[in-house]
């Protein structure tokens, strides 16, 4: 320590750190602040100033280290010393009773801890000598990612424990509902895509390579398990799970609320019902209730299964359904001309978000529901993500309800609509100059899976169209920064960034370009197959239906759509302009080998060390295919953390499920 730092300065820094840690704990953990925000901010500013003036006083556990550190290139792998297993799910009270009956055959007079299942992202926190040294995601339960910098930004995680203990705990990181709503309000104002739900938002935030972004997301955590180590300096070994949580609370952790100990299936079910009734009023999302043996010795007796502990289950709530009123039905025109009716609902809180709109697909769907304008309807979220109208409550009709009629003319261009001759229920505008189709086709062209033009969102596309700067996607490549710098929401720097992103997209390659063209029935997988088979845009444009149908991913209808697209003069001219603008119209990557030839993979959940896009690219490079849905033809499902319905379907079909680590081994 430098001799220039006085003992008074050192003591002042230590005192500020202690007081700030104490008051943060009172505020974030116990929701019982003792000082004003202003007083806290003044102490924080004083400490930060002293640490900047005397860098020798740096401490990784200082409260000032919660704002985020350096930007990482990637997350390092972490092998968990204690497996972070998932739990077996039960979906009914009968299954819950069956679990209790099984336990009762092995344990005399068992007691159970019954606690809410927080809908977030599981992490482990490792302390050495009472100091937080590592935070890691669950990953596949064996290997996760080092997210230490990010977990330090969560104020309810203690950086120091006050006692020099060596221990590891497990918790669930989540995004509070209020924070989620504010983020989506801001994103909506900026014209960005909305986050799907708080759970996905929390997972994405915790995996930010820039921890300052994570700090802005204001994540929180509940600690729900003591993994290993010592909870007491005198070596005392806790007897029950409840004792471990009580002790962790004493040490400053924010532990699970609403928990109880029950000794019968009846008491367990009673508490599950209580938690379910309280669900709507919570500040965070829960998706079930965890039931586990409370006595640690009983857990050791019952033991572990292959992938899940035998001493615990997770009761999953059924999809949440709510009643609301269908106030109106609006009709929007998509990029392929399809008219899609959307229900406008009285806002209702559902599965973590406020829902005010839900797709109604087409007129046949509306007739099948028997829904009328003004009806009371039941809504839910498919997969807890996509709002849908489930049924109509006809007994609540007053007589004021009205039938819905699809418009005879396109709401965007006023052209007469038509219905496809192939039996589709979709109404379609066939005017290729329709403004709504043009706007959405350019948005699709710029989207992540297509040309990936960062910054070209719906509002910017609308601005460019309204100002007459573009009339097709090809016009994007003749734009100059000076033309758009003065537009609303732009500016010189934003304009330069957008032009740079547009120019960078030229090298995206044929796979992305084919998908970006927006050919009907051609998704990302089919576009990749077309690019690999024909190699150039010119060759693809001359392909026959017979040649196209020889490709596994292309059927008769898709082949006709491709031929039809390249037969229109407008599309021929569009492709010519893309070529003249310097876009790469050849396949930029060939399979590096055929090791995965004939294999189809489905990716689900958050992978430990790479994004799903990266994993998908690696699979394709080995000659494999990546699908967005699970079927009996799926070869492997690669499952990461928080894998959802795809994992469940794979299990029901008997499809082989592997981890990222196994996938990487297969590539060697």
Higher pLDDT, 246 or 304: 246
Inter-residue contact 28 to 221 (CB < 8 Å): no
Rg over alpha carbons for the chain, rounded to the nearest Å, is 28
- For 452-486, give the secondary structure using H, E and C: CCCCCCHHHHHHHHHCCCCCCHHHHHHCCHHHHCC
Inter-residue contact 540 to 514 (CB < 8 Å): yes
Question: Is the pLDDT reported for residue 175 higher than 80?
Answer: yes
Dist CA 5 CA 272 (whole Å): 57
- Dihedral angle, C-alpha 375, 381, 386, 387, nearest 10 °: 10
- For 158-197, give the secondary structure using H, E and C: CCECCCCCCEEEEEEEECCHHHHHHHHHHHHHCCCCCCCC
Inter-residue contact 51 to 57 (CB < 8 Å): yes
Q: What is the pLDDT of residue 164?
A: 94
The values of phi and psi at residue 373, to 5°, are -65, 130
* Identified catalytic residue from 117, 372, 625, 646: 117
Give the percent of the chain with pLDDT over 90.
46
Q: Work out the mean pLDDT of the chain and round it to a whole number.
A: 88
Dist CA 403 CA 462 (whole Å): 33
Q: What is the pLDDT of residue 186?
A: 84
Q: Pick the range with the lowest mean pLDDT from 271-275, 373-377, 494-498, 626-630.
A: 626-630
Q: What is the pLDDT of residue 480?
A: 93
Query: In sequence order, which residues have a C-beta less than 8 Å from that of residue 287 and are 6 or more positions away?
Result: 117, 119, 199, 316, 317, 384
Burial of 622 (0-12, 13-18, 19+ CB in 10 A): middle
470-499 pLDDT, tens digit per residue, is 999 999 999 999 999 888 778 888 899 999
The listed range with the strongest mean pLDDT (7-16, 38-47, 114-123, 621-630) is: 114-123
Residue 600: in which H helix or E strand, if any?
strand 600-604
Opening angle at CA 453, ends 447 and 455, nearest 5: 100
Look at residue 432 and give its three-state secondary structure. Answer: coil
Question: Is the pLDDT reported for residue 420 higher than 80?
Answer: no
- For the beta carbon of residue 456, count every other beta carbon within 10 angstroms: 21
Inter-residue contact 584 to 514 (CB < 8 Å): no
Question: Is the pLDDT reported for residue 262 higher than 60?
Answer: yes
Residue 418: in which H helix or E strand, if any?
strand 417-419
The pairing of strands 77-79 and 143-145 is antiparallel
Question: Is the pLDDT reported for residue 372 higher than 90?
Answer: yes
Q: What is the pLDDT of residue 45?
A: 84
600-618 pLDDT, tens digit per residue, is 999 988 777 677 777 887 8
Dist CA 520 CA 498 (whole Å): 28
Dist CA 252 CA 533 (whole Å): 60
What's 28's DSSP letter? I
Q: What is the pLDDT of residue 328?
A: 95
- For the beta carbon of residue 470, count every other beta carbon within 10 angstroms: 18
End-to-end CA distance of the chain: 50
Inter-residue contact 159 to 132 (CB < 8 Å): yes
CA pseudo-torsion sign 249, 255, 258, 261: negative
List, in sequence order, the alpha helices (H) in 303-434.
Answer: 363-369
Query: In sequence order, which residues have a C-beta less than 8 Å from that of residue 275 and are 6 or more positions away?
Result: 116, 258, 286, 289
Residue 150: in which H helix or E strand, if any?
helix 148-151
Please confirm, yes or no, whether 117 is among the known catalytic residues.
yes
Q: What is the pLDDT of residue 3?
A: 55
Q: What is the pLDDT of residue 536?
A: 94
Residue 494: in which H helix or E strand, if any?
helix 492-504
Residue 209: in which H helix or E strand, if any?
none
Rounded mean pLDDT of 342-368?
Answer: 87
- For the beta carbon of residue 554, count every other beta carbon within 10 angstroms: 22
Inter-residue contact 358 to 419 (CB < 8 Å): no
Quick one: pLDDT band at residue 377, thresholds 50, 70, 90?
very high
DSSP letters, 498-534, are HHHHHHHGGGS-HHHHHHHTT-TT--HHHHHHHHHHH
Secondary structure percentages of the chain, helix, strand, coil, to 5: 40, 20, 40
List, in sequence order, the alpha helices (H) in 544-644.
Answer: 545-549, 556-565, 569-580, 612-621
Quick one: pLDDT band at residue 170, thresholds 50, 70, 90?
very high
Higher pLDDT, 569 or 377: 377
71-99 pLDDT, tens digit per residue, is 666 788 899 999 898 888 898 999 999 99
Inter-residue contact 583 to 536 (CB < 8 Å): no
* CA 588 to mean position of chain CA atoms: 29
Q: What is the pLDDT of residue 589?
A: 61
Dist CA 647 CA 641 (whole Å): 11
Question: Is the pLDDT reported for residue 111 higher than 60?
Answer: yes
Burial of 483 (0-12, 13-18, 19+ CB in 10 A): middle
Look at residue 241 and give its three-state secondary structure. Answer: helix
> How many residues appear in the chain?
668
- Dihedral angle, C-alpha 365, 370, 371, 374, nearest 10 °: 170
- Edge-to-edge strands, sheet with 131-137: 131-137, 121-128, 167-174, 220-229
Question: Is the pLDDT reported for residue 310 higher than 90?
Answer: yes
Q: What is the pLDDT of residue 382?
A: 66
* pTM passes above 0.75: no
Opening angle at CA 171, ends 167 and 172, nearest 5: 165
E strand residue ranges, 17-120:
77-79, 88-90, 112-118
Quick one: pLDDT band at residue 1, thresholds 50, 70, 90?
very low
């Amino acid at each position: 320590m430098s001799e220039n730092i006085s003992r008074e300065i050192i003591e002042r820094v230590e005192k500020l750190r202690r007081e700030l840690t104490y008051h943060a704990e009172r505020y974030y953990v116990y929701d019982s602040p003792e000082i004003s925000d202003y007083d806290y901010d003044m102490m924080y500013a004083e400490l930060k100033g002293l640490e900047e003036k005397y860098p020798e006083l740096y401490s990784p556990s200082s409260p000032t280290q919660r704002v985020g550190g350096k930007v990482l290139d990637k997350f390092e792998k972490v092998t968990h010393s204690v497996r972070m297993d998932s739990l077996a799910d039960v979906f009914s009270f009968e299954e819950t009773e069956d679990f209790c009956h099984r336990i009762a055959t092995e344990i005399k007079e068992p007691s159970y801890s019954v606690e809410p299942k927080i809908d977030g992202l599981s992490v482990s926190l490792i302390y050495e000598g009472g100091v937080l040294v590592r935070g890691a995601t669950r990953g596949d339960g064996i290997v996760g990612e080092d997210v230490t910098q990010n977990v330090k930004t969560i104020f309810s995680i203690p950086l120091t424990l006050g006692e020099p203990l060596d221990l590891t705990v497990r918790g669930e990181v989540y995004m509070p509902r209020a924070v989620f709503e504010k983020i989506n309000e801001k994103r909506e104002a900026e014209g960005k895509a909305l986050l799907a739900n708080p759970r996905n938002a929390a997972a994405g935030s915790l995996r930010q390579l820039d921890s300052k972004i994570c700090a802005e997301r204001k994540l929180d955590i509940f600690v729900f398990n003591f993994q290993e180590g010592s909870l007491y300096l005198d070596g005392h070994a806790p007897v029950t799970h409840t004792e471990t949580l009580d002790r962790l609370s004493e040490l400053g952790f924010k532990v699970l609320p609403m928990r109880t100990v029950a000794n019968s299936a009846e008491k367990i079910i009673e508490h599950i019902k209580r938690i379910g009734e309280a669900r709507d009023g919570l500040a965070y999302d829960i998706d079930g209730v965890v039931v586990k043996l409370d006595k640690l010795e009983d857990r050791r007796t019952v033991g572990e299964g292959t992938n899940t502990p035998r001493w615990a289950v997770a009761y999953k709530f059924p999809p949440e359904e709510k009643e609301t009123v269908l106030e109106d039905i609006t009709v929007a025109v998509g990029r392929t001309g399809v008219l899609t009716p959307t229900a406008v609902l009285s806002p209702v809180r559902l599965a973590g978000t406020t829902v005010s709109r839900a797709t109604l697909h087409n007129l046949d769907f509306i007739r099948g529901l028997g829904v009328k304008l003004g009806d009371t309807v039941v809504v839910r979220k498919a997969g807890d993500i996509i709002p849908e109208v489930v049924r109509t409550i006809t007994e609540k009709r007053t007589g004021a309800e009205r039938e819905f009629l699809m418009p005879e003319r396109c709401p965007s261009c006023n052209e007469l609509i038509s219905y496809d001759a192939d039996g589709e229920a979709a109404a379609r505008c066939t005017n290729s100059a329709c403004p709504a189709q043009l706007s959405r086709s350019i948005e699709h062209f710029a989207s992540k899976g297509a040309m990936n033009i960062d910054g070209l969102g719906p509002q910017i596309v609308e601005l460019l169209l309204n100002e007459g700067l573009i009339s097709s996607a090809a016009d994007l490549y003749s734009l100059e920064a000076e033309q758009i710098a003065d537009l609303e929401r732009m500016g010189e720097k934003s304009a330069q960034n957008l032009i740079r992103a547009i120019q960078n997209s030229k090298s995206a390659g044929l796979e992305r370009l084919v998908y970006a063209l927006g050919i009907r029935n051609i998704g990302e997988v089919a576009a990749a197959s077309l690019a690999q088979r024909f190699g150039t845009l010119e060759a693809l444009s001359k392909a026959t239906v017979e040649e196209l149908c020889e490709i596994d991913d292309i059927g008769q209808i898709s082949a006709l759509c491709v031929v039809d697209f390249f037969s229109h003069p407008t599309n021929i001219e569009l492709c010519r302009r893309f070529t003249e603008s310097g876009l790469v119209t050849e396949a930029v990557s060939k399979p590096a080998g055929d090791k995965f030839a004939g294999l189809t993979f489905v990716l689900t959940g958050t992978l430990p060390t790479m994004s799903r896009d990266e994993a998908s690219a690696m699979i394709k490079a080995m000659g494999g295919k990546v699908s967005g849905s699970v079927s009996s033809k799926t070869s492997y499902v690669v499952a990461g953390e928080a894998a959802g319905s795809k994992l469940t379907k794979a299990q029901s079909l008997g499809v082989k499920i592997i981890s990222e680590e196994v996938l990487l081994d297969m590539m060697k």
